[in-house]
Amino acid sequence: MTTRRTFLRNTALGGTAAALAAPSVARAQTAIKWRFQTYAGAALGEHVTKPVIDFINKAANGELEIELYYADQIVPTGELFQALQRGTIDAVHSDDDSMASPTPLQQFGGYFPLATKHSLDVPVLFDQYGLADIWREEYAKVGVTWLSAAGQDPCNFNTKKEITSLADLDGLKLYTFPTAGRFLSQFGVVPVSIPYEDAEVAVQTGELDGMAWSGITEDYTVGWADVTDYFLTNNISGAWIGSFFVNQQVWADLPEHLKAIVMAGIEAGHTYRNQWYWGGEARLRAQGDKLQLRSIPQEEWVVVEDAAKVFWTEIAAESELNAKIVQTFRDYNDVISKAGPPYTFG
């Protein structure tokens, strides 16, 4: 039988062991803290980035705490990459193009003209056609770890002016991505670069005629449908190519189980965005009451599609890496064109 003396001695030893263990428990519970900035403003970020951060913060159980900042809150979007390299920001959600990536990949992020048809094309290109390996290798050279890419909405036009022909694009001042603007300028579009959150007011003041930045889900979500009148159903790319990036040393220092949580959160976010955008594009075209739908006839729009082929050839001629990426887009588009609907339209 346990004597009273034995019971007290064991209890005391147990209490001493617990006291000795307390400091290591406290250290284990000290959170790793990240500052994370997204390309998206608060209204859009609620859907495209915040679900990822919420997932990670909850699953990490206090071991990793990520503070989310929206477009331009710490640094302007065009300076995101430099801030990521310096460690001013620990991680970023953006496309390569608008964050001015100092790599050859810049022009392929965002909306590379006519490269995709649907949002699911992006993970297929990265995971099955080798783009993930290219992105990972190129960013490793500049002190940044590329984590994952996913598609989002197509790049349509929402404007004050009615567009029913290519001629109507001439002279339009549009908020758009750098590479998309470079491509569209041959049709008379005047690309305008301003902070994301200023675009709505810029339409109201006449500084902009509209945007070539998103699909209709985003137009309604961020307020652009309130200041423009028309939505052009033709798009210059079927899906945005954006990625999650982290400072190389910050990622190296993160324990493996937390890396797994971060990646799980990112993948969950990809799934949410796919259904949110896909459903919204259909519902708001069919039932939305703010933007009137307009289209340029296909027999005229083919001029834009042919121009994209020329654009691809010009980009491919710039370097071996560019040529490899462009060939990947060509190979994939050849496959889906032979597959037919629903992989291609019509």
Helix axis angle for 256-287 and 50-59, nearest 10°, is 150
Same topology, domains 31-152+239-284 and 156-238+288-318? Answer is yes
Average pLDDT of the residues in 129-154? 97
What's the confidence (pLDDT) of residue 29?
63
Query: What pTM did the predictor assign?
Result: 0.89
- DSSP codes, 145-196: EEEEEEE----EEEESS---SGGGGTT-EEEE-HHHHHHHGGGT-EEE---G
pLDDT tens-digit series, residues 245-265: 999 999 999 999 999 999 999
Per CATH, domain 31-152+239-284 is 2.102.10.10: no
pLDDT tens-digit series, residues 264-319: 999 999 999 999 999 999 999 999 999 999 999 999 999 999 999 999 999 999 99
Annotated domain spans of the chain: 31-152+239-284, 156-238+288-318
Given a cut of 70, is residue 69 above it in pLDDT? yes
CA 208 distance to own-chain centroid:
23
Domain 156-238+288-318, CATH: 3.40.190.170
CA distance 311 to 330: 13
Sheet arrangement for strand 210-214: 190-192, 173-176, 210-214, 156-159, 230-232, 292-294
For residues 64 and 31, is the Cβ–Cβ distance under 8 A?
yes
CA distance 154 to 283: 15
Q: Which of 342, 289, 156 is nearest to 233 (CA)?
A: 156
What's the confidence (pLDDT) of residue 344?
85
